Amino acid sequence: MPQAPTREWYALYTRPRAEKKLAAALQKLGIEYYLPLLRQRKKWSDRYKWVEEPVFASYIFVHLDFKKDALRVLQLPQAVYFVSTEGAPTVIEEDDLTLLRIAVENFAESLSIRDTSTLAAGEKVRIIDGPFAGKEAVIERIHGKTLVVVAFPALNQSVQVEIPVAHLTRAGS
């Protein structure tokens, strides 16, 4: 008796700024996808405009039978590779995508996505928002994915403050 196809969610890395084109191509192939978008106000030299930007640049989520559909998807010009762990494509849990959908649909105006994996203890950062805006600090430690503890070496004292990651940028950026 043939086994029923097992469709699971995977993260697919795309060419830069090709997420929406890939979504259209996946739709033509009949492959279910999820591209979380946030509406943001962008400034041009002469005006402001509302645009929809992907929550995760260069990523789209696809729901497919990997053995059957992966090659067809990777043959699309906008697709680069499936995100993998230890050589195997990483399955994204349905519950995680459900939480992401809820966050995007209900909390879009306050949603802030920042990658803390590139931040490290000892790294110099500039604070871009809040009461310490414009000051440079050094990351002491990282609390989860949203808060970092910073010290201000210019004060010759170790004053430690928890600051949201969204309020930081690399020093010199």
User: For the residues of 71-115, what is the DSSP string, one character each?
Assistant: HHHHTSTTEEEE-EETTEEPEEPHHHHHHHHHHHHHSGGG-----
* Residue 156: pLDDT over 50: no
Rounded Cα gap, residues 83 and 57, in angstroms: 14
The pLDDT value given to residue 85:
85
Do the domains 116-170 and 8-110 match in fold? no
Q: Which CATH architecture has domain 116-170?
A: Roll (2.30)
Would you say residue 114 has pLDDT above 90? no
Of 84, 22, 27, the residue nearest 59 (C-alpha): 22
Mean pLDDT, all residues of the chain: 80
pLDDT band at residue 25 under the 50/70/90 scheme: very high
Domain extent listing, the chain: 8-110, 116-170
- Calculate the CA dihedral of residues 11, 14, 20, 24 and round it to 10 degrees: -80
Q: Give the homologous superfamily in CATH for domain 8-110.
A: NusG, N-terminal domain (3.30.70.940)
Least confident segment among 33-37, 81-85, 150-154: 150-154
